[in-house]
Amino acid sequence: MITIILGPPGAGKGTQASLLSRRLGMHHLSTGELLREARKSGTPLGKQTASYLDAGTLVPDSLVSALIAERISKESTHYLLDGFPRTERQAQELETIALKEGQRLAHVLILEVPDIEIIARLKKRGRTDDDVVIVEKRLSIYREQTQPIIAYYLERNILSKINGLGSVEEVYSRIISILSY
């Protein structure tokens, strides 16, 4: 089974995904984390993608799709995709991967947080791509490239919008009520 967690930068995807994997044993796959690790360990992929991470722009679809394809198998695991797919092309790639591995796309969760709150949160987080100019860029990329896939999942009746405001536990319990539905 596959669940996707989406949302703008700073919406709390990573925090919620870590909790879900710790408490429910879901298999957390974060393309952002995988790319940051690749960069830290200096792999060819890391070198190839560092400039995108620094600029806050999207890494080419084929590279991130390959990262996910390598990690999804036929196992009866509940995969939790954090930050993937981010474009329509990636959403199509995921369909192909899921079909090939016999995995069902069960839920798409969107964490919704107003821009003003996002900017305030990211100022506190202090990651190198959280610089204010880069954050604006990442937000506009989110609106242009990622938001269109929301309609795609809405049509298929698997999308749930989640209010991302409030404490980590409050948001977590909203997610749980949807996953157990």
Residue ranges that bind ligand AMP, judged by CB under 6 A: 9, 31-32, 35, 52-53, 56-59, 64, 83-84, 86, 90, 129, 138
- What would the two tokens of residue 109 be? 């969760």
Q: Which residue is nearest to ligand AMP (CB)?
A: 32
- What would the two tokens of residue 45 be? 């992929």
Beta carbon nearer to ligand AMP, 5 or 159: 5
The answer to whether residues 56 and 137 touch, using CB atoms and an 8 Å cutoff, is yes
CA 48 to CA 52: how far, in whole Å?
9
The residues, ordered by sequence, that sit 6+ positions from 128 with a Cβ below 8 Å of its Cβ are: 54
Shortest Å, Cβ 180 to ligand AMP: 26
Backbone phi and psi for residue 126, each to the nearest 5 degrees, phi listed first:
75, 25
Beta carbon nearer to ligand AMP, 9 or 12: 9
Residue 97: its H or E element = helix 88-101
- Fill in the DSSP letter of residue 78: -
Shortest Å, Cβ 141 to ligand AMP: 8
Beta carbon nearer to ligand AMP, 64 or 162: 64
Shortest Å, Cβ 169 to ligand AMP: 22
Shortest Å, Cβ 65 to ligand AMP: 8
